[in-house]
Amino acid sequence: MSKAAAALSASPRVVKLSTGLKDADRKLVAEMLSDVTVQTYRTLLRSQVVHWNVVGPLFQPIHELTEQHYSELFAAIDTLAERIRALGYPVPTGKAAAGLDKALSIGGRMSALAMVEELIEDHEALTRLIREAAGEAEELEDFVTHDLLTERLAFHEKAVWMLKAIAAD
């Protein structure tokens, strides 16, 4: 096998690191980050589905807000995945497919209000997941992950606020 072919056939693996975090702690944090990454990906897809399908008097603000959100979420996924790699673990890809049918569907809830309500639920679920993971990262003294998750938490809390303001009577 040529060097180029060997390089292309390489697969990510767990890497032994000596960065001050225990191996078990790095693994736990990487698993939590994987869950956050997968849920973020689903929320990104849901945001795009709403962006493409929203209609009605609030079309313009919802269309623009969801575009801002999915752009931010795309960048966040990359940052989260890179943190998992920096912890020495591969980014799981199989988990990402689970639940995508729900993310890509807006169910029978076709009104703009119903779509916004689903996005609110997605962002609220992410805030709960991120809050738990950030707390765990802080306890394990993984300050880099804690800071990253704090930033993600701020984004999702603001997204909930903005979406709820749109959905208000």
Mean pLDDT of 1-17: 58
How far apart (Å, rounded) are the C-alpha atoms in residues 84 and 29? Answer: 8
Query: Could you tell me if residue 149 is inside a domain?
Result: yes
Whether 146 is covered by a domain: the verdict is yes
Let me know if residue 96 belongs to a domain.
no
User: What pLDDT is attached to residue 93?
Assistant: 72
Report CA torsion sign: 14, 20, 25, 30. Answer: negative
Mean pLDDT on 114-128: 95
pLDDT for 108 beyond 60:
no
Cα–Cα dist 121/7, whole Å: 42
pLDDT at position 124 is: 98
Number of domains in the chain: 1
Q: pLDDT (tens digit, 9 = 90+) per residue, 34-84?
A: 999 999 999 999 999 999 999 999 999 999 999 999 999 999 999 999 999
Tokens read off for 125: 């679920």
pTM of the shown model: 0.85
Q: Which of the four pLDDT bands, split at 50, 70 and 90, describes residue 95?
A: low
Per-residue pLDDT at 87 exceeds 90: yes
Structural domain boundaries enclosing 47: 20-53+70-90+110-169
User: 76 in a domain, yes or no?
Assistant: yes
Query: Is residue 63 assigned to a domain?
Result: no
Contact present, 120 and 163 (Cβ < 8 Å): yes
Is the pLDDT confidence value at 154 over 80?
yes
Mean pLDDT of 115-142: 96
Tell which residue, 66, 28, 30, has the closest CA to residue 46.
66
The CATH number for 78's domain is 1.20.1260.10
**pLDDT class for 98, splitting at 50, 70, 90?**
low
Token pair listed for 78: 């990359």
Contact 123, 156 (CB under 8 A): yes
